[in-house]
Structure 1
Amino acid sequence: MKRVSQLTALTAALGLAAFSSFAADMTHSLTLAELQQQKGAVIDTRVSAFYNGWPQALNGTSGHEPSALNLSASWLGAMNEAQLKAWATQHQLTQATPIALYGSDSDNQAVKARLSEAGFSHIALLGDALQIPARLQRLAHFEQLVYPQWLSQLQQGKPVTAAPAGEWKVIEAAWGAPKFYLLSHIPGADYIDTNEVESEPLWNKVSDDALKAMLAKHGIRHDTTVILYGRDVYAAARVAQIMLYAGVKDVRLLDGGWKAWDEAGLPVERGTPGKVTPAADFGAPVPGQPQLMLNTEQARGLLHRKDASLVSIRSWPEFTGVTSGYSYIKPKGEIQGARWGHAGSDATHMEDFKNPDGTMRSADDIAAMWKEWHIVADQQVAFYCGTGWRASETFMYARAMGWKNVGVYDGGWYEWSSNPQNPVATGERGPDSSL
């Protein structure tokens, strides 16, 4: 056994004392009612899956405290000081705001430490957190965004919340040959090339007959639960949205995609997909939900209406016509009268919709972002981007949020801009430009 120097022992003792003092600070707690009287803020320090509504234990409580913000301790390593301050500013938190945390002890301690470093000093525990199930809030359809540990338990045959009603499949989706899939993928996962669901020249969805054949090839019926993931979440979302259009009733996304599975340290396998038994029949008409996919004339009909929104899921430089966003799309600009639904820094990123770990941002944040551009839940809403991927990801989030009348304008900017007769807008403009 190594000898411990007096200096090391002293350092350890001081560290333990500091931790004990720090832990003692967290014994101060407030009830939700007390915090609300002080006009304070509640922060849920758990991972987003539990915040969204997945119970931490089978038959456990589900959801988050009213108006709680989600600042997961697991994100802290991906947030620098400036990003944390920007998060606080975005949620109107000042250093004088009373804050109450809830989650595990270790997560609360980690978040408190970072907030304290940023100058927040009025931090307590939420003493009655998750004790009154009736007041908890959750995504309307949290089950449509699964998390890695849930999927792992399902694969092991363990009982899980919101289990598939019948047969289920896990599928990785990406463009082209399965080069990354061959190196490492979720055990038992099939592989779908996005070329199986969309085609040139405009990268619109394939014909309904071709779609039906693709589903049969992968052994998918209308009542098969399909759990999709991707190295890029929007690739999986594109396939998911088209499957829903076709009539597959239960299609889910792995929130955070392959990255979430990989970072969870769960088992992987390599090699080609296993043999799939084709489905003899889809068991229902295709398409089962034709309203989920809009053509150009249907999209045009949503413009300049208070009860509808045609929503651009493109970066601000694309929306204002600085860039088309794509090497193969030459025209720059935007559909005149479309509303900006945010996206990310360019045509291949979706930061505006993502937590630091790549999972879906909170529904409250997304709804607030859309409301600024007159996009609200009781409208008929159709999302579009350049060719459908980013729009499909946003569609899947809106669906999980419980937005009932949503679809995707399949042709997007690529199809719209291919006809010079279609009206186009460029330049800086605000939300009222779409009214």
Structure 2
Amino acid sequence: MKHAIRLLLTATTSLLLWFSTPAGADELAPLSLEEAKTQGAILIDTRPSHFYQGWPMAGEQQGGHVAGAVSLSADWKYDDEQWPQALSAKGLDARKPVALYGEEKGLAEVARLLRMRGFHQLYELKGWQQAERVHLARWQQLVYPQWLADLQAGKPVAAAPKGDWKLFEVDWGAPKAFLLSHIPGAGYIDTNSLEQEPLWNKVSDADLEALLLKNGIRHDTSVILYGRNSMAAARAAHLLMYAGVADVRLLDGGIDAWFAAHLSTEAGLPRKYEAVASFGAKIPVHPEYLTSTDQAKALLKQADGALVSIRTWDEFTGETSGYSYIDAKGDIPGAKWGHGGVDANSMSDFHNPDGTMKPQGEILAMWDQWNIAPTQQAAFYCGTGWRASEAFFYAWLMDWQRISVYDGGWYEWSSDPANPIVTGDRKPSAE
């Protein structure tokens, strides 16, 4: 009897240790890519998302991820309520074998987290460095903190700007938070200089050009933008691209990503760049990036058109307007729901837990539910343009060819009583 109890205690202790002890990469059985394909294994990239998106690791000639792999970075933190949705979005099934790859520490951490959630057929993918990689079409335009820090330090970096480059933080109003802490050497763009009342549409082309010249921005200047909120930086990015700046980049995850990387900051006033006399091109170089209300109405009648609402579901169905200064509730009849976030100040449906851009496949799957496709002529809108600009930028990173922002959005549409409004739950139309 005592012997049986001792065996039971030993077995129980071993089981508890198995669940609680982090598994090293060397504890996972190796699996080649060919074996993984044969067994129908799910491939997981455990590295930071910028490597998955396309940036090469040190010593690599190519970046990106193994074809078919999903991204589940060891850096991300999900709570218990978020895990089921995260696993579902990535097509992860505990009944199937899973092959992980990446650096040893991250690989071991993701293996540990998956074991806690019932995944026991875990392997380490061997030879992944030599495997064919795929990447975001314009991965170079979505930069990460260490790349920016190295660029500032004058170190060699992948996809370096070809000429003059400038860094700006973008936010609404006076730079209060900026004065306390910002990325060293950054200038500052107040979104009030990009938009005008009463509807917060873009300023005139002449005023936009004046802003660019004042900040030393020409059409051939590389401009790197970041924000306390990614939407503000995306709003500026879209209007710079509309004007004709050829190389516009966003810091993925914004200043929070910089903080998380434990990189240095500074306090004080924004950097003042030397003004330039000429933009070097007639603004706008890309008028097609902006859609008016009349064009939005025409798009609704276009066979391959998609007017895409980047708003919360409650805004889309008319439960709330989303804004304290917009009274009307509802949305535009015939518009497609392109998702948004938890409220009008969020784009969480498009973000990983650390605020970086979700993998292309997850965004496309989300849009596919509402028949929003890369081949369509798509105009994104929200309340006043910020969220729509971020969706536009992500679609542009994916190389969508016919995209724009409906600048007026819900605010302008709903301000005209003659424009129809729809409320209530809706489903995608069959196409």
What is the match of residue 85 of structure 2? 86
**CA deviation profile, 1:71-99 (whole Å, cap 9, x unmatched):** 00000xx2123322321123332221110
Give the drift of 1:346. Answer: 1.2
* Rounded Cα–Cα distance in structure 1 between residues aligned with 2:21 and 2:316: 50
What is the match of residue 299 of structure 1? 296
**CA deviation profile, 1:121-154 (whole Å, cap 9, x unmatched):** 000011121213xx21100000110000000111
SS at match of 2:307: strand
* Rounded Cα–Cα distance in structure 1 between residues aligned with 2:245 and 2:277: 15
Kept in 2: contact 1:61–1:130 (CA 8 A): no
* Rounded Cα–Cα distance in structure 2 between residues aligned with 1:360 and 1:90: 14
SS at match of 2:109: helix
Map 1:175-190 onto structure 2 (within 5 A).
175-190=172-187
Letter in 1 for 2:98: I
2:159 aligned with 1:162, yes or no? yes
What is the match of residue 75 of structure 2? 74
Letter in 2 for 1:52: Q
Kept in 2: contact 1:101–1:123 (CA 8 A): yes
Give the drift of 1:32. Answer: 2.1
What is the match of residue 107 of structure 1? 106
What is the match of residue 353 of structure 1? 350
SS at match of 1:309: strand
* Rounded Cα–Cα distance in structure 2 between residues aligned with 1:20 and 1:181: 40
* Rounded Cα–Cα distance in structure 1 between residues aligned with 2:117 and 2:254: 31
* Rounded Cα–Cα distance in structure 2 between residues aligned with 1:20 and 1:85: 21
What is the match of residue 64 of structure 2? 63
TM-score by length of 2: 0.93
The RMSD of aligned alpha carbons is 1.8
Kept in 1: contact 2:25–2:105 (CA 8 A): no
* Rounded Cα–Cα distance in structure 2 between residues aligned with 1:129 and 1:326: 48
Kept in 2: contact 1:385–1:391 (CA 8 A): yes
Give the drift of 1:274. Answer: 2.7
SS at match of 2:300: coil
2:27 aligned with 1:25, yes or no? yes
* Rounded Cα–Cα distance in structure 2 between residues aligned with 1:156 and 1:73: 27
Which of 136, 140, 143 lines up with 2:137 in the alignment? 140
What is the match of residue 37 of structure 1? 38
What is the match of residue 409 of structure 1? 406
What is the match of residue 5 of structure 2? none
* Rounded Cα–Cα distance in structure 1 between residues aligned with 2:342 and 2:329: 16
* Rounded Cα–Cα distance in structure 1 between residues aligned with 2:22 and 2:178: 47
Kept in 1: contact 2:22–2:108 (CA 8 A): no
2:365 aligned with 1:368, yes or no? yes
* Rounded Cα–Cα distance in structure 2 between residues aligned with 1:274 and 1:283: 23
TM-score by length of 1: 0.92
Question: Runs of at least 4 residues of structure 1 off by over 3 A?
Answer: 18-24
What is the match of residue 4 of structure 1? none
Matched residue pairs, number? 416
Seen in structure 2, the aligned counterparts of structure 1 residues 19 and 316 have a Cα distance that, compared at 3 Å, is closer
Map 1:313-352 onto structure 2 (within 5 A).
313-352=310-349
Give the drift of 1:275. Answer: 3.0
SS at match of 2:429: helix
**CA deviation profile, 1:304-350 (whole Å, cap 9, x unmatched):** 54412110000000000110000100110101100000001111111
Letter in 2 for 1:387: T
Sequence identity of aligned pairs in percent?
A: 53
Seen in structure 2, the aligned counterparts of structure 1 residues 23 and 381 have a Cα distance that, compared at 3 Å, is closer
Kept in 1: contact 2:213–2:279 (CA 8 A): yes
SS at match of 1:82: coil
Give the drift of 1:22. Answer: 5.0
Give the drift of 1:24. Answer: 4.4
Kept in 1: contact 2:23–2:112 (CA 8 A): no
SS at match of 2:299: coil
2:243 aligned with 1:246, yes or no? yes
Kept in 2: contact 1:44–1:64 (CA 8 A): yes
Letter in 2 for 1:388: G
Seen in structure 2, the aligned counterparts of structure 1 residues 23 and 144 have a Cα distance that, compared at 3 Å, is closer
* Rounded Cα–Cα distance in structure 2 between residues aligned with 1:146 and 1:327: 34
Kept in 1: contact 2:22–2:112 (CA 8 A): no
* Rounded Cα–Cα distance in structure 2 between residues aligned with 1:44 and 1:88: 14
Seen in structure 2, the aligned counterparts of structure 1 residues 213 and 322 have a Cα distance that, compared at 3 Å, is same
Give the drift of 1:58. Answer: 5.6
* Rounded Cα–Cα distance in structure 2 between residues aligned with 1:99 and 1:20: 17
Kept in 1: contact 2:89–2:362 (CA 8 A): no
SS at match of 1:303: helix
**CA deviation profile, 1:350-380 (whole Å, cap 9, x unmatched):** 1100000000001000011111111111111
Kept in 2: contact 1:340–1:373 (CA 8 A): yes
* Rounded Cα–Cα distance in structure 1 between residues aligned with 2:242 and 2:315: 27
* Rounded Cα–Cα distance in structure 2 between residues aligned with 1:21 and 1:164: 41
Give the drift of 1:33. Answer: 2.4
Kept in 2: contact 1:182–1:272 (CA 8 A): yes
Letter in 2 for 1:254: L
Letter in 1 for 2:297: R
Give the drift of 1:30. Answer: 1.5
